[in-house]
Structure 1
Amino acid sequence: MANEVFSVKSFYNFLNEGGLQCPISSWLWRNNYPRKVNLFNWLTWKNKILTLENLEKQCFNKLPTATCVFCHAGIELVDHLFLHCSFAKHVWKYFVRLLHLPEPPILLSYLIWVSWRSRLQTWIQDVGVWIMKALIWNIWLARNDRIFNANVVHAADIIMKCDRMIFSWFTVIVEGARGKFEDYALAIRHSLKFLDQRAEETNEVLTAEEASEQHTG
Structure 2
Amino acid sequence: MTIPDASCVLCGGDYEDVKHIFIGCSFAFEVWNHIMNWCKLSPFFTYDFEDLLLLYKNVHCGKWRKKIVRGIVGITIWAIWKARNEKIFQDKNKLAREVLAKVKSMAFLWLQNRANFSCIVWEDWAKYPLYMYV
Tell whether the structures are fold-level matches, with TM greater than 0.5.
yes
Please tell me whether residue 189 in structure 1 is matched to residue 126 in structure 2.
yes
> Where does residue 146 of structure 1 map in the other structure?
87
Q: Which residue of 2 aligns with 1:133?
A: 74
* Partner residue, 1:91: 31
Is contact 2:36-2:43 (8 Å) kept?
A: yes
Deviation of 1:85 after TM superposition, in Å, equals: 1.0
- Return the alpha-carbon distance in structure 1 between the equivalents of residues 108 and 40 of structure 2: 17
* Residue number among 141, 165, 168 corresponding to 2:106 in the alignment: 165
RMSD over aligned Cα atoms: 2.3
Structure having the higher Rg: 1
Q: Residue 5 of structure 2 aligns to which amino acid in structure 1?
A: T
Instruction: Tell me the TM-score normalised to structure 2 length.
Output: 0.79
**1:152 is paired with a residue of what secondary structure?**
coil
The structure that is helix-richer by fraction is 1
Report deviation, 1:103.
Answer: 2.4
Structure 1 unaligned runs (5+)? 1-59, 192-217
User: Which sits farther off after the overlay, 135-144 or 165-174?
Assistant: 165-174
Q: Which runs of 5+ in 2 are unaligned?
A: 129-134
Counterparts of 1:21-32 in structure 2, within 5 Å, are none
Please report the TM-score for the alignment, with normalisation by the length of structure 1.
0.51
Tell me if structure 2 keeps the 8 A contact 1:98–1:187. Answer: no
User: What code does the residue aligned with 1:169 have?
Assistant: W
Q: Per-residue deviation at 1:61? A: 5.3
1:92 aligned counterpart, secondary structure: helix
Percent of paired sites with the same residue? 25
| 1:110 shift after superposition | 2.8
2:57 maps to a residue whose letter is S
Distance 1:164 1:139, change over 3 A: same
Residues paired across the two proteins, number: 125
Ranked by relative contact order (alpha carbons within 8 Å, sequence separation 6 or more), the top structure is 2
Q: Distance in 1 between matches of 2:110 and 2:58?
A: 22
